[in-house]
Structure 1
Amino acid sequence: MDTNADYTTEKSKRRVRLPPSDICVVGLGYVGLPIAVEFDRAGYDVVGFDIDNKKIDQLRSGVDPTGDVGGRRVKTSEVQFTADEMAIERSRYVIVTVPTPIDDLKNPNLTYVESAGETIGRNITPGTTVVLESTVYPGATREILAPAIEGTSGLISGDDFYLGYSPERLVPGDDENGFRNVVKIVSGQDDDVLEDLTELYESVVDAGIHKAPDIEVAEAAKCIENIQRDLNIALVNELAITCNNLDLDTHAVLEAAGTKWNFHDYRPGLVGGHCIPVDPFYIIYESERNGFSPKLIQQGREINEYMPKHVGKETLKALNECGNVLRESVVLVLGLAYKPNVGDIRTSAVDGTIQTLQEYGVNVVGYDPHVDEDLATKMFDIDVQRELIFDAVDAILFATPHDEFRNIDFTMAATEMTDNPILIDVMGVLTPERYENSTLEYRRI
């Protein structure tokens, strides 16, 4: 995702208030790399640290392993990419952007945060401010990160080094809602840290700063942002399941209801990614540790986790009703990434749909122009096309609506498919009227 912006000119527009060697970004993934590049773009001297030597080699060569920043921006930046943890010691600010997944029991896994804290502690200089941007439960910055730094440094949080929390709000593949274009929540362990970090982030974030009253509020706010989306999507997903059982067109129902001025526009679909399926469990975990089990949040997760299976069942239903023998049927999954216009399949919910189809003996193949075919073949255990071919396909499961797919002539594709061809439009992005006089059986979830 390269751009032709003149970064030298951009730097000259901003006032740099900090001395050289002032920022180290720990963790150079989908969050850390854009942050490092943006601070560099603003004129700061930035070190980008990651323990993955292969990633560092790619970045030094001008290759963006995330695919979200773009090779040109990486190559033209002055970020010092390194796997040498000693680079941390010369930075006034350390920004931590490591993964915070959940374990098999759906409890928070903060081993990356703890490990990062220990690494920082081995190299931290007194007076440094450490800012966590990863999603955590309320209290984790003080409970997990601070002791990890203290344990390997011998320094005391609040006296010898300082803590802040400023949750990332980046949206992979969304150029309009990047680091500089979204209001930044900032918090610190005391008022002085808060003001210092506000000044730091104000110099790079154009959309403005929201000062949270304390770290725990900022931590909770990050979780709630995605919980709200999860619950809204869960509502329409449950509506979709209900409408499918009643032989009603879910999208027609939503379109009718949407004519009311205060109706919120959400559409059913598969919920994947690194945030929405994960963040609710951080609040659930901490809330239950403090004596309350948030049932609605849990039920929302249950519905969205069931949705891949429901999509699979609706596809099986369509195959049966069109006279196909399941064990002789071929379903082409169009789009394997977890969201449109990105290539990340690690948390794609379509995997659950594929497994449901395979349980009934359906032969599943996939196609996604954003995804490495070999990686997808290994992850989903299906054949993945290198070029889009509809020959011998019984049904198309339109799962992830990449922009490239919007121009596909599915009516023409139907002429290459088997008898009684089927198109399942998971997110309902296509126009049903186009297929009324077609041999294609069009259905949407």
Structure 2
Amino acid sequence: MKKICIIGLGYVGLPLAHAFSKKYQVVGFDINKPRIDELSSGFDRTLELTAEEVNESIKNGMIYTTSSDDIKDCNIYIVTVPTPIDSSNRPDLTPLIKSSQTIGKVLKKDDIVIYESTVYPGVTEEVCVPELEKVSGMIFNKDFFCGYSPERINPGDKEHTVTKILKITSGSTAEIAIVVDDLYKSIIIAGTYKASSIKVAEAAKVIENTQRDVNIALINELALIFDTMNIDTNDVIEAAATKWNFIKLKPGLVGGHCIGVDPYYLTFKAEELGYKPNLILGARQINNGMGKYIAEKTIKLMIKNNKKIKDSNILVLGVTFKEDCPDLRNTKVTDIVDELNEYGVNVDIYDPWVDLTEERTHFTHKLMETNPFEGNKKYDSIIVAVAHHQFIKLTQEDYRNISEGNETIIDIKGIVKNPSWRL
């Protein structure tokens, strides 16, 4: 009988654990005790699961724990921990290594360890497996086995949920590949795709987001070019999109835990092997520079509108990395704020989706506690940075009411009817 342990209960692990709990015994393990306490009480601060869904998993027998004693009798371990980058854009494999060490302490004969975290090709077998062998004292593909099935969670998306997205699977042997595929096939309504090897599955995941990053970088660069020509980029995109094979993307900030991070895993490995991935690194440079460009554009428009710069008041609407989602990881809105601060302006940030307790714990920028549209403060400029549904509903009069003089509205997401400038 299969008993599954999910290591890491964030945006990826929790929905997966909930899905598996409907058919299997599941233990959810995380080192974050406050997170475990909240889940045990039925609350998911990521908002990926409702209270009803969290409680459903508990009723199904799922246990939330921080104790390795509670995962000793599991025979399938699925690792869904973050794979961030450091300040030098190098992969930080610490969470993966520590998770592998935790599993190694409880690993038993014929157990299977499946990794879902995004990595460069080779990490599972070259980094994680040695840790499992060293701690457990067992031999890979003889005493225990591994699989890799890359996560495809889209935070905040209530339509494309974990069971409705086709899943890539793989295993360390042909037989284990079938076992892993059958396991996921039992819960994934959209079906599975069995890759030919673990490295192929790892590579497939990392290029999914690298491709998107490069494509968005092209649109961002075009937006910068068209801006110098006083041409509306969105008008150009709409016209070009009338051709059947045009990929319709919009310019903007590229943050989050995937698109803005994953390409660095691939470029790191490529450079380690002596290949310089110029196109991918160039795309990263373009996308990472968008926040600075938007801030500079804001200042230029304020000068054009005869507004003071030093000690002026600027409102930034939204700080999460995407709309209708509380996820602050690798948000690039902060790049705009940091650049504006260099000009000596006063920046207020308002985001109704961010839990202020979480913000104070994991976020260095202070957020407003009250809705600026319900107050009396006036702003010299307003930057609409995230397309939360609350902001889509705002009218021109709403902006006018909190603007000092003529409104200066910077629209990054294309949701304002008459902005002063749109990316």
TM-score of Structure 1 vs Structure 2, range by shorter chain: over 0.9
From 178, 195, 205, the counterpart of 2:161: 178
Q: Deviations over 1:390-417 (max 9, x none)?
A: 7311211000001121111123430342
Q: Deviations over 1:42-89 (max 9, x none)?
A: x21101111122211111111113221122211121311111112332
Matched residues in 1 for 2:326 and 2:402: separation?
Answer: 27
Q: Does 1:33 align with 2:14?
A: yes
* Equivalent residues in 2 for 1:207-246, closer than 5 Å: 207-246=190-229
Q: Does 1:386 align with 2:367?
A: no
Partner residue in 2 for 1:266: 249
Do the aligned partners of 2:351 and 2:367 also contact (CA within 8 Å) in 1? Answer: no
> SS of the residue aligned with 2:121?
coil
Partner residue in 1 for 2:411: 425
> SS of the residue aligned with 1:327?
coil
Task: Give the Å deviation of 1:264.
Answer: 0.9
Task: Give the Å deviation of 1:376.
Answer: 4.4
Identity of aligned residues (%): 41
Relative to structure 2, which stretch is displaced further, 417-426 or 208-217?
A: 417-426
Relative to structure 2, which stretch is displaced further, 367-376 or 188-197?
A: 367-376
* Equivalent residues in 2 for 1:430-445, closer than 5 Å: 430-431=416-417, 435=418, 442-445=420-423
Q: Does 1:348 align with 2:331?
A: yes
Q: Deviations over 1:188-232 (max 9, x none)?
A: 111100111111111000101111000000000100000011011
Matched residues in 2 for 1:127 and 1:177: separation?
Answer: 33
Q: Does 1:70 align with 2:53?
A: no
> SS of the residue aligned with 1:206?
coil
Do the aligned partners of 1:308 and 1:352 also contact (CA within 8 Å) in 2? Answer: yes
Amino acid aligned to 1:63: F
Q: Does 1:113 align with 2:65?
A: no
Amino acid aligned to 1:281: Y
Amino acid aligned to 1:31: V
* Equivalent residues in 2 for 1:129-140, closer than 5 Å: 129-140=112-123
Relative to structure 2, which stretch is displaced further, 375-384 or 182-191?
A: 375-384
Specify every segment of 5 or more residues in structure 2 that has no aligned partner in the other structure, as ranges.
none
Matched residues in 2 for 1:375 and 1:148: separation?
Answer: 32
After superposition, the CA RMSD in angstroms is 1.5
Task: Give the Å deviation of 1:255.
Answer: 1.8
Partner residue in 2 for 1:13: none
Amino acid aligned to 2:28: G
Structure 1-normalised TM-score? Answer: 0.91
Residues 30 and 75 of structure 1: CA distance in aligned 2, closer, same or farther (over 3 Å): same
Amino acid aligned to 2:400: A
From 374, 379, 392, the counterpart of 1:406: 392
| Number of residue-to-residue matches in the alignment | 417
Residues 416 and 113 of structure 1: CA distance in aligned 2, closer, same or farther (over 3 Å): closer
Do the aligned partners of 1:377 and 1:384 also contact (CA within 8 Å) in 2? Answer: no
Residues 377 and 151 of structure 1: CA distance in aligned 2, closer, same or farther (over 3 Å): closer
Residues 382 and 98 of structure 1: CA distance in aligned 2, closer, same or farther (over 3 Å): closer
Partner residue in 1 for 2:78: 95
Specify every segment of 5 or more residues in structure 1 that has no aligned partner in the other structure, as ranges.
1-18, 436-440
> SS of the residue aligned with 2:82?
coil
Q: Does 1:56 align with 2:56?
A: no
Matched residues in 2 for 1:169 and 1:345: separation?
Answer: 18
Q: Deviations over 1:216-268 (max 9, x none)?
A: 00000100000011011111111111122222211122222222222111001
Matched residues in 1 for 2:311 and 2:106: separation?
Answer: 61
Partner residue in 2 for 1:325: 308
Matched residues in 2 for 1:274 and 1:322: separation?
Answer: 37
From 15, 24, 27, the counterpart of 1:44: 24
